[in-house]
Amino acid sequence: MNPNKYISDQILEFEKILPIFKSKCSEQILASADLIINCFRSGNKLLICGNGGSAADAQHFAAEFVSSFSKQITRESFPALSLTTDSSFITAFANDFSFDEIFSRQIESLGKTGDILIAITTSGASTNCLKAVSQAKKQGLKTLAFTKVGGEIAKYTDLAIQIPSDNTQHIQEFHVISYHIIAGMVEIQMSGLKSNE
Per-block average pLDDT, block size 10, for the chain (197 residues)? 93 96 98 98 98 98 96 93 98 98 98 98 98 98 98 98 97 98 96 62
Burial zone of 60 (CB within 10 Å; 0-12 exposed, 13-18 middle, 19+ buried):
middle
pLDDT of residue 197: 46
Among 171, 157, 195, 179, residue whose Cα is nearest residue 72: 195
Q: Model's pTM, two decimal places?
A: 0.95
CATH number belonging to domain 33-65+77-190: 3.40.50.10490
Identify residue 72 by its one-letter amino acid code: Q
Contacts of 37 (CB under 8 A, 6+ apart): 185, 186, 189, 190
CB 95 within 8 A of CB 119: no
Among 19, 39, 17, residue whose Cα is nearest residue 159: 39
Contacts of 15 (CB under 8 A, 6+ apart): none
Per 3-state DSSP, the chain is made up of helix, strand and coil in percentages (nearest 5) of 60, 15, 30
Query: Residue 12 in 3-state DSSP?
Result: helix
pLDDT of residue 193: 64
Contacts of 59 (CB under 8 A, 6+ apart): 82, 84, 85
pLDDT of residue 194: 53
